[in-house]
Amino acid sequence: MPTSDSKLMPTATQKPPATHPAAEENPPVRIEVELPLLTIIRGGGALLGAYALYVLWPLLLVVFLALFLAVTLHAFVAWLDSRRMKHWLSLLLVIGGLLTVLGVGMALLVPALINQAACFGQAFPQLRAEALDQIPADWGLRQSIEHLLDPANWAAADSWLGHFMSAGGVAINGISQIALVLVIALYLLIDGGKTYEWLLAFFSPLHRRKLRLTAQEISQVIFGYVAGQIITSVLVMIYTFVMLSVLHVPGALMLAILAGVLDILPILGFIIATVPAVLLALTVSFQTAVIVVILCLLYHALENYLIVPKIYGKNLRLSTLTVLLGLLTGALLAGIPGTLAALPVIASYAAIERIWLKPFLRDGVSEKHDLQKDEAFGEQD
């Protein structure tokens, strides 16, 4: 009988399986990647969200600006409500007051602007000739200014009608965007509270309390920013109008409004507003143009280093360096929207740190930051 060891010995008829030498050295490796269905759905949702953000960006920008205006108007509504006035009456007074101010302002300014624009269009050839006469013939920038003032080089249009239609199209588009912002802001003011409460219902009671505190403090920041921007724009409009009127520069009102609107753009807005003022000042005299340049530079320095830091610093509790760097960073990253959002976003960090990030920071960090702000800007009202 065979022993147990004989079972381990191969018989004559049994042959070991043939293997390729290369297969023994590098056996094939099969890699399987399994993607859960939930991961695929999340990835698809992220792609759809990014595409929707790209497509809806213009609308989101309009809503963003409308939210700023709605928050600012809500502060006045809340003030009237605190005086024991019925909420619907507070809304009516605020909305009616806003529409009244806009209507009166347009009634006073629009006819004057149209009159100045018509006079400017008729007198442009003469103004161009007077401006060029004030520039020395051997001055290096004369050819550039002459080229700039040449009507044929204003735009790609081939006729004055093309210029007019292009400018009119831009103006109409701008007016329609402003009207859309105003309408959305009024709807947010009326129904925004209900939508806000509906969204809060998705969160836990603890998170709802934190979100309410955050929204309250950010609303104060936005109100301070909008109020500061209105103050700086009004100041630059008054300064520009008085300066150009005293110097007898044509189109003073038109140039003043342009300077106020462009005041939201750091550096670039100053340049865009100053160039036409200087060109029109050349129609008076070369010395007048030089005075306009000097006075504009002086006010620009005064605004950047005194007015803006004081106004925004008090309302937003931001240092001078933070204001300047924040405006420049926002403009470089996202243009006009970045400029509008930079300071409120930076100023909102203090509330986010105190309400949301404090447990994750070292003990005393948040309190030290608040103490530094109180010492620099005083206690908040």
pLDDT of 355 > 70? The answer is yes
pLDDT of 23 > 60? The answer is no
- Alpha carbon of 183 to those of 121, 164, 210, 353: distances in Å? 33, 28, 30, 34
The dihedral over CA atoms of 291, 295, 298, 304, expressed in degrees to the nearest 10, equals -140
Phi, psi of 174 (to 5 degrees): -65, -45
pLDDT at 158: 41
Contacts of 96 (CB under 8 A, 6+ apart): none
* Ramachandran bin of 364, using left for φ above 0, alpha for ψ from -120 to 50, beta for the remaining angles: left
Q: What is the average pLDDT value for the chain, to the nearest integer?
A: 79
pLDDT at 234: 92
The end-to-end CA distance of the chain, in Å, is 106
Q: Out of 36-50, 232-246, 249-263, 362-376, which region has the weakest mean confidence (pLDDT)?
A: 362-376
Enter the tokens of residue 206. Answer: 């603890």
Report the distance separating Cα 5 and Cα 148, nearest Å.
106
The residue with greater pLDDT, 174 or 209, is 209
In this predicted model, what pLDDT tens digit does every residue of 187-201 receive, in sequence order?
A: 999 998 888 999 999
pLDDT of 291 > 90? The answer is yes
In this predicted model, what pLDDT tens digit does every residue of 116-156 receive, in sequence order?
A: 777 766 666 776 677 777 766 666 666 666 666 665 554 44
pLDDT of 174 > 70? The answer is no
- Greatest mean pLDDT among 27-31, 87-91, 171-175 lies in 87-91
Question: What average pLDDT does this structure show over 336-360?
Answer: 84
Contacts of 163 (CB under 8 A, 6+ apart): 151, 154, 155, 157
pLDDT of 165 > 50? The answer is no
pLDDT at 256: 92
Question: What average pLDDT does this structure show over 198-213?
Answer: 91
pTM above 0.75, yes or no: no
Burial class of residue 324, CB neighbours in 10 A (0-12, 13-18, 19+): middle
**Helix boundaries (H) for the chain:** 21-25, 37-82, 87-133, 142-148, 160-200, 205-246, 252-261, 268-281, 286-302, 308-316, 320-352, 365-377
Q: pLDDT band for position 275 (50/70/90)?
A: confident
The residue with greater pLDDT, 251 or 19, is 251
pLDDT at 145: 67
Q: Out of 17-31, 200-214, 230-244, 250-264, which region has the weakest mean confidence (pLDDT)?
A: 17-31
Q: Where are the domains of the chain?
A: 45-201, 203-381
The residue with greater pLDDT, 374 or 186, is 186
